[in-house]
Amino acid sequence: MGADMNTRPVSIFALGPSSLPLAEKVKAAVGGVVHAPAGLAADGHFGKATLAIAHAFDAGHAVIGICSSGILIRAVAPSLRNKAEEPPVIAVSEDGATVVPLTGGHRGGNDLARKLASALSAHAAITTASDVMFGEALDEPQDAVLANPQDHKAAAAARLRGEEVRTETTIRVVSGGPRHLVYHPKVLAVGIGCERGTDPDDVRQLLTRTLEQHGIAPGSIAAYGSIDLKEDEPAITQFPQARFFTAEELRAEKDRLASPSAVVEQEVGVPGVAEAAALALVGRNGTLIVPKVKGKRATIAIAQAAQAADLRQPAGRPRGCVALVGIGPGDSSLMTPQVDFELWKASEWVGYSLYLDLVEHRRNGQTRHDFPLGDEEKRCRHAIELARQGKQVALVCSGDPAVFAMAALVYELIDREPCRIAVTVHPGVSAFQMASARAGALIGHDFCCISLSDLLTPWETIVQRVTAAATGDFVVSFYNPRSLKRTDQIVKAFDILRPHRKPETPVVLASNLGRPTEKVRILRFDEFRAEDVDMLTIVMVGSSQSRAFVRGDGQTSAYTPRGYARKMGLT
Ligand code: SAH
């Protein structure tokens, strides 16, 4: 991950109002963003502190908590995997007297803790042995990797005994030992060009072979790059965080190429993708160290930056992505952690204002792109356009993003107008699931969902489907049941169902699910009145088997049996 304190975002967590002033002092000392529970004056807000802390950690942020070490340990424990990549986690006691770096000590955590302690006139409780003795880290230096971690313990112990330990920093493959630590600085960039459909393994093997032939350590590679035409090429996207350049940006490297090709120039407008991308990554002060090497269908080249800092935030841009996220019906406890994480990762939020408002308390520097109700196409096109510029976009939907929402439209647009962005879909709890759950278990047996909006679907098609649901004896959930202008559809749908349902069939009217104004009613089919329904309501009608009953506490429940009565020999 190569990031250090200069580039790593810092997330500061105040768990209550009393720790806010100290959190602000921490921010003044080391920068960053202060997160606090909703309602407090902070830069960002969270629902559940441990979840927010885990997300910040997973996203590679340095985490500073104004709280006990225990809270932070519990929050990040499930995410702890590889100490070489973990960001710093630092606990600051609420009285501001003690600063404890818990993880990532050598990823800048100890330095950050020292800086904090000095600003707060506190004590930095640094516990990593080599640091305590020498004020330096042996196993995880910044912008480099230790090539022989197996020798680190012996080397640190030798140093503690006062014996000499040699350290060597090189991009070459060198074997170290218990008295010889070898570091590979993160200074290399690999440029890749390939034909469409090249096997990703071929490119990997070409790279491995080339590195071996030149005796170069893979640990020194900091970045991979190619031309933007290859943004959707698996052979390139297999490298995490690959960066892409326009043909024009690559042409700017023309004079520095070692082996320009007229053929390639004719095909993609650049006299060589691999060399140009490697050079574009390392910048003007870098040099080409391995000119273009040809494989069967791919080429690679390697360039070296003048210093590791030049590659901390590599040039070019990442592949843009539209993440379709379903935030559930409303309450944030009904949102999956994955959706929460996607919202966190994105730099842009696109959506209907009401939905963006529902997640506003989680915003943490993301730009809002608000849209009015309707015109989903505009929303989707805007999200796709941002992704085409290399942005990471969350397209925010209520409920599930595929259920009468925008996921299918995004796929339709990229199907009709191909582009190279990544698209991912992250499910949410849909209104029908929530309504069934509130009522009991109405979707306990076969069910279907029908949108009554005839803005996009011809009314005859809707009639055909309602008829099939009526005769097929499905539990039916009606989305978009009634608007100010469309008042008839739900009445007609009930007319179609009436001959196939008993008068006592349970009907659930659920509005504003998961929001403070939530209202759920369970009534009989013959009690239904269309006037009780609006666009924020979902209407569910039971099958011939569905039942409603009143329990001892006076609550009515509705469910659809799956057939266990027959299995149990009951009727
Ligand atoms: N993607 C959403 C559905 C969007 S269509 C989902 O999966 O739930 C909009 C319709 O969904 C509304 O007209 C209403 O019928 C239903 N709906 C969405 N959210 C709702 C909520 N919180 N409470 C009740 N109905 C809701």
- Residue 424: predicted pLDDT: 97
DSSP state letter for 355: H
Please state the separation of Cα 93 from the chain's center in Å. Answer: 31
For the cut 50, the answer to whether the pLDDT of residue 4 exceeds it is: no
Contacts of 230 by beta carbon, 8 Å cutoff, 6+ apart: 192, 193, 194, 236, 244, 273
Show the domains of the chain with their CATH numbers: 10-140 (3.40.50.11220), 149-185 (no CATH), 188-311 (3.30.420.180), 321-429 (3.40.1010.10), 432-564 (3.30.950.10)
* Residue 136 φ/ψ, nearest 5 degrees: -145, 155
Separation of CA 6 and ligand 1 centre (Å): 44
pLDDT category at 6 given cuts 50, 70, 90 is very low
Range list of H helices, 11-160: 20-30, 49-58, 69-76, 109-120, 129-134, 152-160
Tokens of 39: 């309602």
Substitution candidate for ligand 1 out of 436, 438, 479, 487 with most atoms within 8 A of CB = 479
Edge-first strand listing for the sheet containing 287-294: 243-245, 221-227, 188-194, 298-304, 287-294
Separation of CA 315 and ligand 1 centre (Å): 42
Mean pLDDT, residues 319-329 taken together: 97
Write out the H or E segment, with its range, that includes residue 235: helix 234-237
For the cut 80, the answer to whether the pLDDT of residue 196 exceeds it is: yes
Tokens of 281: 């990554």
69: Cα within 13 Å, side-chain hemisphere: 9
How many degrees, rounded to 5, is the angle at CA 75 between CA 112 and CA 22? 45
Average pLDDT of the residues of the chain: 92
Dump the DSSP string for 293-345: EE-SSEEEEEEE-SSGGGGTS-SSBPPPEEEEEE-BSS-GGGS-HHHHHHHHH
For the stretch 403-445, pLDDT in tens is 999 999 999 999 999 999 999 999 999 999 999 999 999 999 9
For the stretch 533-552, pLDDT in tens is 999 999 999 999 999 999 99
Mean pLDDT, residues 366-381 taken together: 94
For the cut 80, the answer to whether the pLDDT of residue 396 exceeds it is: yes
- Residue 133: predicted pLDDT: 54
Please state the separation of Cα 214 from the chain's center in Å. Answer: 37
512 C-beta closer than 6 A to ligand 1:
yes
pLDDT category at 7 given cuts 50, 70, 90 is low
Q: Please report the sign of the dihedral spanned by the C-alpha atoms of residue 24, residue 29, residue 30, residue 31.
A: positive
Alpha-carbon span 374 to 343, nearest angstrom? 22
pLDDT more than 70, % of the chain? 96
- Residue 1: predicted pLDDT: 29
For the stretch 227-275, pLDDT in tens is 999 999 999 999 988 999 999 999 999 999 998 988 889 888 899 999 9
| Residues shown for the chain | 571
129 C-beta closer than 6 A to ligand 1:
no
**Higher pLDDT residue, 392 or 9?**
392
- Residue 551: predicted pLDDT: 94
Q: Whose CA is nearest to atom 2 of ligand 1?
A: 399
Question: Which residues of 228-311 form beta strands (DSSP E)?
Answer: 243-245, 287-294, 298-304
Mean pLDDT, residues 180-204 taken together: 96
Judged on CB neighbours under 10 Å (0-12, 13-18, 19+), 440 is buried
Q: Whose CA is nearest to atom 6 of ligand 1?
A: 399
250 C-beta closer than 6 A to ligand 1:
no
For the stretch 135-171, pLDDT in tens is 555 666 778 889 998 898 899 889 889 899 999 999 9
pLDDT category at 362 given cuts 50, 70, 90 is confident
Substitution candidate for ligand 1 out of 352, 395, 404, 426 with most atoms within 8 A of CB = 404
Closest ligand 1 atom to residue 453 Cα is 13
Alpha-carbon span 313 to 286, nearest angstrom? 15
For the cut 70, the answer to whether the pLDDT of residue 558 exceeds it is: yes
**Higher pLDDT residue, 486 or 470?**
470
